[in-house]
Structure 1
């Protein structure tokens, strides 16, 4: 006699097509559209039209879902090795741009990924390979490669956090900066006053693409100078 309190082994409608990939795809859609706080296991199950308990066969908790989403974001960052046909500094810039773009495509997730190191711990190894590969070809010593790679990643993470929080291609660094500087007593912060005045109000607008390229070029030039000094 079958116990009415037990479910049969047959999956409910919709559960037979359930997979880890389907769950993560739906989760990413929720996060992109509504933010990380909107993502719950119950909400995810409702979106997929399945029993919430069926999700746990594929992903045991929300933390596992977030880790899986990090994998999706970083999945395309294992760049192929171009060999010596591309200069090391261009390889490094390509890796940095790809890393930033991966985060920029999903700003809601980026804030979570970058504030919780455990989320990216399992995927960071392969995503760092293009950085290490390019830096190794620059001629740096192993310790210098390690430190340079970490500095670059820190730069991209910090930049991406700012970019994700603003959600615009440009913004004004300080809307009243020009007025504040011009109101300073004579001789107070003279260099700042001169630079800001020369730029004017339109020159103080910040463009994220330009800012990223400027910072990346500065870091790359510093790495090249360090390599030449060995």
Structure 2
């Protein structure tokens, strides 16, 4: 690919750079993702990238953002139950994580605190606040659902295709064998439902939990 010289407009954008970086990570692994490798794939000099992504840390944060942004925002119509919005977000996130194995390790270790991610969190917390969640409970729900979904999707990807199960072992341990054969999406759905039921009980003050008195304030105000 012909490389453009520094200072020559290459039609670069941050989103385009992140898309190219995500493709490299998925195809070749994160270890191969360097600024020079990324520049080569875009046909530009490495310095051209720094105007959009200032350093490698910002690039990795952007990769987390790129995957998370594929999930639907946690938003609701006025008359929709909050569980519907959370479930839609979780299912979209699961699909996004499974589709991009190259960044699985990043999703477990990198916060990805970009402007776009923070805006999505702000919107989600405001939505949960309107549903009657206090800010601490809304934060806990969002974190629990996100971590459960990401971990489940990564585990699924690692075990796709299953493995050899000796017939003798399966015969000796029928319940364990049945458990390993359980449909992964069914297991995800059951786990997510349990989370939603539990947090709804906390929201309503069931089981001795204190019921919230006011909806959550804006996240920026609460965290600032």
Shift of residue 76, structure 1, vs aligned partner: 4.3
C-alpha separation between the residues in 2 aligned to 1:89 and 1:177? 41
Q: Any unmatched runs of 5+ in structure 1?
A: 1-10, 183-195
What are the residue-to-residue correspondences of 1:115-194 with 2, within 5 Å? 115-117=109-111, 120-122=112-114, 123-129=116-122, 131-133=124-126, 135-166=128-159, 168=160, 171=162, 175=165, 179=169, 182=172
- 1:61 paired residue among 45, 55, 62: 55
Asked if residue 226 in structure 1 is aligned to residue 219 in structure 2, the reply is: no
- 1:201 paired residue among 177, 186, 190: 177
Compute the TM-score of the two structures, normalised by the length of structure 1.
0.71
C-alpha separation between the residues in 2 aligned to 1:31 and 1:213? 29
C-alpha separation between the residues in 1 aligned to 2:166 and 2:128? 41
- 1:17 paired residue among 10, 19, 39: 10
Report if aligned partners of 1:140, 1:226 keep a CA contact under 8 Å in 2.
no
The farther-off stretch of 14-23 and 102-111 is 14-23
Report if aligned partners of 1:45, 1:52 keep a CA contact under 8 Å in 2.
yes
- 1:101 paired residue among 92, 95, 98: 95
C-alpha separation between the residues in 1 aligned to 2:168 and 2:147? 30
Q: Any unmatched runs of 5+ in structure 2?
A: 212-224
C-alpha separation between the residues in 1 aligned to 2:197 and 2:35? 46
How many residues were matched structurally? Answer: 201
Classify the secondary structure of the residue corresponding to 1:84. Answer: coil
- State the partner residue of 2:33: 39
Report if aligned partners of 2:76, 2:127 keep a CA contact under 8 Å in 1.
no
Q: Deviations over 1:127-161 (max 9, x none)?
A: 33464355435534333223222222221232233
Bigger Rg, structure 1 or 2 = 1
- State the partner residue of 1:8: none
